């Protein structure tokens, strides 16, 4: 099997580290920054004979990447995204965007507690492959068989997409709590509030509670809620500490305003999310999070 990895940042490197020793698997990484993987060749050479493609790029680059990759795809090749974000301009999730831009190709989302640095170190975890295609789910499960990344399948692909997006956003909130040094008790309260709101949103938008409570939802929220490797947590800490001049761009902050549009005015029922929208816009001080306690 020929596997392409498009995007050679931390997660792309981690996926490569897991697959490069798998029997009967050839891995072809590619990144727009050739310094990340100097022997990569062209995008065409990385894609044109691939049997499956992993898209390990940020959500805000996904549209452009799909346009480029689509030029060289074999018929019916599955595309698996690891981006956990929402396109700011259109408010579309990764699963919807892929289905629209590469019709005829099965798509999937690989999600869950998969901190890249831990995967590279060989630490075990379980991820979720969300896909409408049972063939794709089995294909990905088999591909990682015997590696430290164990895979479970889910047909709730949109729920998996939403959980990944919302996890990023609420982890910013948990980072704010750490920046304010509110302690573990406070974070426990905030986690419970976050899970309730995530479940409400996912169900409203067509996903399932079982997905929220799976590795793709609660598991990922917990693993990145205080991880030094999480960009969203780091951004939250900076907001909590009111660090002047900090770069506050992350998957969790970039598309947060979309929820005001797609939830049709239901923010009154989602006070934690509403706070995160306002605090990342600079409209309220970060210590207003204390009201949730």
Domain(s) labelled CATH 1.10.1040.10 in the chain stretch across: 158-292
- 8-31 confidence digits (pLDDT tens): 999 999 999 999 999 999 999 999
Which single residue is written with the structure tokens 């999937």? 108
The catalytic site residues sit at 167
* Model confidence at 146: pLDDT above 80: yes
Whole-structure pTM value: 0.93
**What average pLDDT does this structure show over 241-257?**
84
DSSP result, 109-175: EEESS--HHHHHTT--EEEEEE-S-HHHHHHHHHHTTTSSEEEEEES-HHHHHHHHHHHHHHHHHHH
Per CATH, which fold does 2-155 belong to? Answer: Rossmann fold (3.40.50)
d(CA 80, CA 52): 8
Tokens, residue 263:
């939830």
Task: Spell out the residues 6+ positions from residue 157 whose beta carbon is closer than 8 angstroms to its own.
Answer: 95, 107, 108, 109, 130, 131, 132
CATH class of 158-292: mainly alpha
Burial class (CB within 10 angstroms; exposed 0-12, middle 13-18, buried 19+) of 283: exposed
d(CA 211, CA 154): 8
* Model confidence at 170: pLDDT above 90: yes
* Model confidence at 244: pLDDT above 80: no
- 36-95 confidence digits (pLDDT tens): 998 888 999 999 999 999 999 988 899 999 999 999 999 999 999 998 888 888 989 999
Backbone phi and psi for residue 71, each to the nearest 5 degrees, phi listed first:
-65, -25
> Among residues 116, 76, 82, which one has the least CA distance to residue 7?
82
pLDDT score, position 245: 77
* Model confidence at 246: pLDDT above 80: no
Q: How confident is the model at residue 236 (pLDDT cuts 50, 70, 90)?
A: very high
d(CA 252, CA 165): 7
pLDDT score, position 248: 83
Which single residue is written with the structure tokens 């996912």? 202
- The b/e string for 132-154 (b: 16+ C-beta within 10 A; e otherwise) is ebeebbebbeebbeebbbebebb
Domain(s) labelled CATH 3.40.50.720 in the chain stretch across: 2-155
């Amino acid at each position: 099997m020929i596997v392409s990895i498009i995007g050679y940042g931390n997660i792309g490197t981690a996926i490569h580290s897991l697959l490069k020793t798998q029997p009967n698997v050839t891995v072809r990484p590619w990144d727009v920054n050739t310094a990340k993987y100097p022997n990569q060749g062209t995008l065409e050479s990385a894609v044109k004979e691939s049997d499956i493609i992993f898209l390990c790029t940020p959500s805000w680059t996904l549209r452009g990447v799909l346009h480029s990759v689509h030029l060289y795809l074999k018929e019916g090749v599955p595309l698996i995204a690891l981006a956990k974000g929402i396109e700011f301009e259109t408010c579309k999730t990764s699963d919807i965007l892929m289905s629209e831009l590469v019709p005829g190709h099965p798509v999937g989302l690989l999600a869950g507690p998969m901190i890249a640095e831990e995967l590279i170190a060989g630490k075990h975890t379980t991820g979720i492959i969300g896909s409408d295609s049972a063939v794709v789910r089995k294909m990905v499960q088999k591909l990682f068989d015997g590696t430290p990344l164990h895979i479970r399948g889910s047909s709730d692909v949109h729920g998996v997409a939403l959980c990944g997006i919302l996890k990023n956003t609420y982890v910013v909130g948990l980072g704010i709590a750490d920046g304010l040094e509110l302690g573990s008790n406070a974070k426990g309260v905030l986690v419970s509030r976050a899970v309730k709101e995530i479940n409400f949103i996912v169900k409203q938008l067509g996903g399932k509670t079982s997905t929220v409570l799976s590795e793709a939802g609660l598991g990922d929220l917990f693993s990145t809620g205080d991880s030094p490797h999480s960009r969203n947590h780091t951004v939250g800490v900076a907001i909590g500490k009111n660090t002047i001049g900090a770069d506050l761009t992350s998957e969790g902050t970039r598309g947060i305003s979309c929820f005001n549009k797609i939830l049709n005015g239901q923010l009154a029922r989602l006070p934690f999310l509403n706070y995160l929208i306002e605090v990342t816009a600079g409209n309220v001080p970060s210590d207003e999070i204390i009201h949730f306690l």
